[in-house]
Amino acid sequence: MLEEGDVTTVVAPMLDAPLVIGGREFHSRLLVGTGKYATNDDMMRAIQASGAEMVTVAVRRVNLNRSTDESILHHLDPSRYFLLANTAGCYTADDAVRYARLGRAAGFNEWVKLEVIGDPQTLLPDTTGLLDATRTLAAEGFKVLAYTNDDLITALRLEDAGAACVMPLASPIGSGLGLLNPFSIRTIKSRLTVPVIVDAGVGTASDACVTMEQGVDGILMNTALAAATDPVRMAMAMRLAVEAGRLAYLAGRMPRREIAVPSSPTTGMLE
Amino acid sequence: MSAGTVRRSIITPVVNGEPRAIAAGSTVADLLRELQLEARLVVVEHNRTILRDRTTYAAQPLASGDTIEIVHFVGGG
């Protein structure tokens, strides 16, 4: 019996290998955030519909003056979803390391989605701070998933610094502008050994599909679902788009040609 | 009871940025109880040291001027 949020088309394991990050296998290549949903119910139904196994969360002070200020763990079952704590909002390596350690102390895992932001207008990463924090945390045994820009050299340095996964942006966080530089993303993917997951900027299903067609290992998104008029429908669309893009990449697209080539026989035409 | 005695029976650690009056001799566990917070849902940092082992909360005494940060997971991307 189908329930709301179930999607029947799942790429069969025989058609694709699992996504492996830091020695752990995931069967969904779509990772989702938990921010900015209108309600917790919308969030949970969208996450379920997305098929995501890994979900990001932020670390913030408990609001001691507001009884309604609830931990997300009241809604999100950590035995069902793999929690990935982020360091969103951190502008220095030291702050990001502190937040990462706080996230680890919650007791679920030693993974972190590492952000060191360099500019409040664009939320683009401070790559120097990002590299410093990656080195520090990797040395402490963290699995670092590093949010970065679409620069190959930084991506290579992050891998050298011990990142378990490099996460270049499609476009700025929350912008929904889609994949601005497919060439850069393809280049990064072709040169790195660790998984490459595109993080940020995907706005709708076609963006997700084109991004996966570049050969990357997965996509992390939040606003595209949370800010959709119907987050559950968009979550289903994204799940299908990620799978479609992945399959298309694995299938190998036809060559591009600048001239037409007929699909029907050119012989046997009537006199 | 003199005013002096009352003052001595209260300490004011800074909890999440705000001075908070609690009974002298309180531990981290006492503070969480007073704030009605479930220990398993929060992480506590005491004077910039993260208390990774929640079983130590009851043995962690607080003092005036101590800095306590209590954090938890919220929605984020």
For chain A positions 12-31, those within 8 Å of chain B (CB to CB) are none
A190 — phi, psi (to 5°)?
-70, -20
What average pLDDT does chain A have?
94
Q: What is the pLDDT of residues A157-207, one digit of tens each?
A: 999 999 999 999 999 999 999 999 999 999 999 999 999 999 999 999 999
pLDDT at A1: 45
Task: Provide the token pair at A258.
Answer: 């600048």
Please say whether the beta carbons of A97 and A134 come within 8 A.
Answer: no
On the question of pLDDT at B1 being above 60, the answer is no
User: How large a percentage of chain A has pLDDT more than 70?
Assistant: 94
On the question of pLDDT at A9 being above 60, the answer is no
Task: Read off the pLDDT band of A4 (50, 70, 90).
Answer: low
Judged by CB atoms closer than 8 Å, whether chains meet at B18 and A73 is answered as no
Task: Read off the pLDDT band of A154 (50, 70, 90).
Answer: very high
Q: What is the pLDDT of residues A31-85, one digit of tens each?
A: 999 999 999 999 999 999 999 999 999 999 999 987 666 889 999 999 999 999 9
On the question of pLDDT at B4 being above 60, the answer is no
* Cβ contacts of B15 on chain A, cutoff 8 Å: 64
Walk me through the domains of chain A, giving residue ranges and CATH numbers.
Answer: 28-251 (3.20.20.70)
Distance CA B51, CA A107 (A): 11
Q: Select from A232, A250, A245, A233 the least CA-distant residue to A42.
A: A232
pLDDT at A68: 61
Q: What is the pLDDT of residues A82-110, one digit of tens each?
A: 999 999 999 999 999 999 999 999 999 99
pLDDT at A152: 98
Told to judge if A143 belongs to the known catalytic residues of this protein, a careful annotator would answer no
* Cβ contacts of A222 on chain B, cutoff 8 Å: 76-77
CATH fold group of domain B3-71:
Ubiquitin-like (UB roll) (3.10.20)
Which chain B residue is nearest to residue A43, measuring alpha carbons?
A: B75
The pLDDT of B28-47, averaged and rounded, is 94
Task: Read off the pLDDT band of B5 (50, 70, 90).
Answer: low
Residue whose tokens read 């309180």: B26
pLDDT at A10: 61
pLDDT at A15: 82
Which chain A residue is nearest to residue B35, measuring alpha carbons?
A: A64
Q: What is the pLDDT of residues A140-153, one digit of tens each?
A: 999 999 999 999 99
pLDDT at B7: 55
A3 has which bridge partners?
none
B2 — phi, psi (to 5°)?
-80, 160
DSSP strand pairing (A197-199 vs A24-26): unpaired
Q: What is the pLDDT of residues A202-236, one digit of tens each?
A: 999 999 999 999 999 999 999 999 999 999 999 99
Judged by CB atoms closer than 8 Å, whether chains meet at B73 and A71 is answered as yes
pLDDT at A69: 64
**ipTM of the modeled complex:** 0.89
Is residue A127 helix, strand or coil?
helix
* Cβ contacts of A83 on chain B, cutoff 8 Å: 73
Residue whose tokens read 């590492």: A114
User: How large a percentage of chain B has pLDDT more than 90?
Assistant: 88
- The residues spanned by each domain of chain B are 3-71
Which chain A residue is nearest to residue B38, measuring alpha carbons?
A: A71
Strands (E), chain A: 19-21, 24-26, 30-32, 54-61, 82-86, 111-114, 143-148, 165-168, 197-199, 218-221
DSSP strand pairing (A30-32 vs A19-21): unpaired
Distance CA A60, CA B72 (A): 6
H or E segment to which residue A135 belongs: helix A127-139
Residue whose tokens read 């503070």: B31
For chain A positions 109-168, those within 8 Å of chain B (CB to CB) are none
Please say whether the beta carbons of A67 and A58 come within 8 A.
Answer: no
pLDDT at B24: 94
